[in-house]
Chains A and B, each alone.
Chain A
Amino acid sequence: MMTIKRIPEIEDLGPHNYKYIWSSTPALRYVTQLISAEEIFSKPDVDDAIHRIDGNKTIAPGVYQSNALGLISWEQISGGAKGCALITVAGDPRVGKFNWEFNSGIWGDNCLPVLAEFSHRYDFTVIPQHTFDFARYRDLNFSACTAEGIPLKSLRDLVNYWILGRILE
């Protein structure tokens, strides 16, 4: 389930007064100190996300063949793909007290199909800090709710809540 959490005051955002994952790279670096990168990048879901978002071919867990960059490690995959990898370990007790709330800006529009699939399999919270191009992927089916637990039954509900902060009747 993807939970959408709205922050009431935009001025309150920022690492100093609100803890959330603002960028996937530092968060994943931290997480790989507690869960091995090999374990995270061996997951079929992560592998599939990297392939779909970046178009990279897997050589070994955490090692990829990129069309533009050649042979790369997981550190050089896109921020969106790293964000998807983080979702698969969200809530893992080995990470301890970690705020699994993601800044939506981590993901580009091309990550939406993967996010829609992950919303049915993983629990994660997204803070809408930018607007996705939902119109480009209008057939997607999300499993989403508000932070208060109100289900967002359709993409229309989701977009309305994302943009306007309310569900239109």
Chain B
Amino acid sequence: MNVQVTIGTKIYKLELNQKYTVVIGDSGTGKTTLARLIDDGYADVQVDRDMGYLALINTLHPEEYPSTLNRGKKVFPWHNRVVFIDETCSLLFDKYFHKGLIKSDCFFVIFCRSSLVGLPLGLDNLYTLARTNEGIVLKHVEDQRNSVRKL
């Protein structure tokens, strides 16, 4: 599953190998801004398989979400979409979030540094957003490991 996010001349490519992909990075590299631009419709998002997408950057209390996550059913209201979730969204820290994610038919891109309950991280599903001489660059962690190996 490939996702391409274009903002102006800048292109960010993500390969979603698993149900969830986590993007980490230093403060000020633009994780929340990227989610906000997707949410506001300023970013052109292209997703394989004609899936839809949405971004969650809200700071709503989980009880305000239009989901049944907190009523014991642990189910998300979205289907067949790529869901971008920023760390400002309290849903991420809901103790049932991982259960809802596993049951869901969506793919998730999570902008968050904190470890999330029940969602282990591996090299397959970890990206970093970093400041470089070429501006802000999104890189797959495995790519970075390969470049270190070459050195």
Q: Are B62 and A15 in contact (CB under 8 A)?
A: yes
Q: How far is the CA of A111 from the CA of B25 in the complex (A)?
A: 11
B85-123 interface bits toward A, Cβ cutoff 8 Å, 1 = contact, 0 = none: 001111011110000000000000000111101000000
The number of chain A residues with a CB under 8 A from chain B is 33
A74 within 8 A of B: no
Q: How far is the CB of B26 from chain A (nearest CB, A)?
A: 4
Count of A-B contacts with CB under 8 A? Answer: 87
Known A-B contacts A23-B59, A81-B27, A110-B28; A129 and B87 likewise in contact (beta carbons under 8 Å): no
Q: Are B28 and A80 in contact (CB under 8 A)?
A: yes
Known A-B contacts A13-B95, A76-B33; A23 and B27 likewise in contact (beta carbons under 8 Å): no
Q: Are A105 and B28 in contact (CB under 8 A)?
A: no
A135 within 8 A of B: no
B136 within 8 A of A: yes
Q: Are B28 and A26 in contact (CB under 8 A)?
A: no
Return the contact of B28 from the options A15, A16, A25, A108 (Cβ within 8 A): A108
B114-151 interface bits toward A, Cβ cutoff 8 Å, 1 = contact, 0 = none: 11010000000000000000001000000000000000
Q: How far is the CA of A68 from the CA of B29 in the complex (A)?
A: 10
Beta-carbon nearest neighbor of A11 in chain B: B117
B32 within 8 A of A: yes
Residues A3-17 near B (CB distance < 8 A): 10-11, 13-17
B61 within 8 A of A: yes
Residues A99-119 near B (CB distance < 8 A): 103-105, 107-111
Q: Please give the residue numbers on chain B whose beta carbons come within 8 Å of chain A beta carbons, in ascending order.
A: 25-30, 32-33, 59, 61-62, 70, 87-90, 92-95, 112-115, 117, 136
14 contacts between A and B (CB under 8 A): A15-B94, A22-B87, A22-B92, A22-B114, A23-B88, A25-B88, A68-B30, A78-B28, A80-B27, A81-B27, A107-B27, A108-B26, A108-B113, A111-B27
